[in-house]
Amino acid sequence: MTTEAPALVELDDVSKYYGNIRALEEVSLEVRSGEITCVLGDNGAGKSTLIKIVAGLHRHDAGTFRVEGEEVTLANPRDALDRGIATVYQDLAVVPLMPVWRNFFLGSEPTKGSGPFKRLDVGLMRRTTREALLRMGIDLRDVDQPIGTLSGGERQCVAIARAVHFGAKVLVLDEPTAALGVKQSGVVLKYVAAARDQGLGVVLITHNPHHAYLVGDRFVLLKRGVMAGSHTKGSVTLDELTRQMAGGTELEDLRHELERPSGP
């Protein structure tokens, strides 16, 4: 009899307070290898606070945070990265005028030579960037072009490929399709699925239930800092997920309020 491997990341009744303000209360989720866990909620639902805890920016105040079965309190984002948790934020940390390959290695540039002859290994960076992108199915015209000339979807895809290349086990994506049209959103979701297929555990933060349902395996709904629902793909339909996300009873009440009064 084989026992199931521990989740890559597991939050159990995790809470976060800022003084008297409850930002997150008793939220639970798990992220497994080769799966996508979607966290859904409107603005103010607590998604940003959850990201910051998983990414090591903020410490949780209560509950249990485990990485591969080990209980942890992350000290900072470097601590999270060392444990294989990479976060790609909505406002991508890129330098628009630098080429794609330079942004790909930003902060982790390989060098060659020694002493006064030490210099960046530009050839290795260009070649590695091109190969890493191709492995994800991303065929850029030219890795020498400034990353600012890429579309928003393409920049998101480069960030995903970078995290995969540098050994992430868990990839946290902060609203990667929020500012994109339908076609570009589809491109990004395709590469999110590619990361999943390479065995990563993915946390997809989104307010779009349609995007979540296309790729998600697990769904956690947040509302005003608390859990409003937790489902697996087989236990919920898109309509039900959308209804819960939108606050079905609240919308029904609003519909009654907005109905035209009947004529005399």
**Domain of residue 183, CATH code:** 3.40.50.300
pLDDT at 108: 85
Per-range mean pLDDT, top range of 2-16, 219-233, 246-260: 219-233
Tell whether 235 is covered by a domain: yes
pLDDT at 218: 94
pLDDT at 1: 47
High-pLDDT (> 70) share of the chain, %: 92
Give the pTM. 0.85
Tell whether 90 is covered by a domain: yes
pLDDT at 249: 55
For residue range 86-144, list pLDDT tens digits in order. Answer: 998 877 777 889 999 999 998 888 888 888 888 888 899 999 999 988 888 888 878 99
User: Stretch 182-200: mean pLDDT, rounded?
Assistant: 89
**Average pLDDT over the chain, rounded to whole?**
87
Domain count of the fold of the chain: 1
Can you tell me the distance from the alpha carbon of 66 to that of 11, in angstroms, rounded to the nearest whole number?
6
Tell whether 146 is covered by a domain: no
Element housing 86 (H / E): strand 85-88
Q: Are 33 and 200 in contact (CB under 8 A)?
A: yes
Q: Which amino acid is at 173?
A: L
The strand pair at 119-120 and 170-174 is best described as unpaired
Alpha helices in the chain (DSSP H): 47-54, 77-82, 100-104, 122-135, 152-165, 182-197, 209-215, 238-246, 248-258
pLDDT at 180: 83
Query: Could you tell me which residues are beta bridge partners of residue 12?
Result: 64
Say whether pLDDT at 253 is over 90: no
Say whether pLDDT at 2 is over 60: no
For residue range 114-127, list pLDDT tens digits in order. Answer: 888 888 888 999 99
pLDDT at 192: 92
With H, G, I as helix, E, B as strand and everything else as coil, classify residue 42. coil
Tell whether 137 is covered by a domain: no
Tell whether 220 is covered by a domain: yes
Can you tell me the distance from the alpha carbon of 222 to that of 230, in angstroms, rounded to the nearest whole number?
9
pLDDT bucket at 220, cuts 50 / 70 / 90: very high
Tell whether 30 is covered by a domain: yes
User: Stretch 67-84: mean pLDDT, rounded?
Assistant: 91
Tell whether 205 is covered by a domain: yes
Tell whether 177 is covered by a domain: yes
For residue 185, give its domain range. Answer: 9-96+167-258
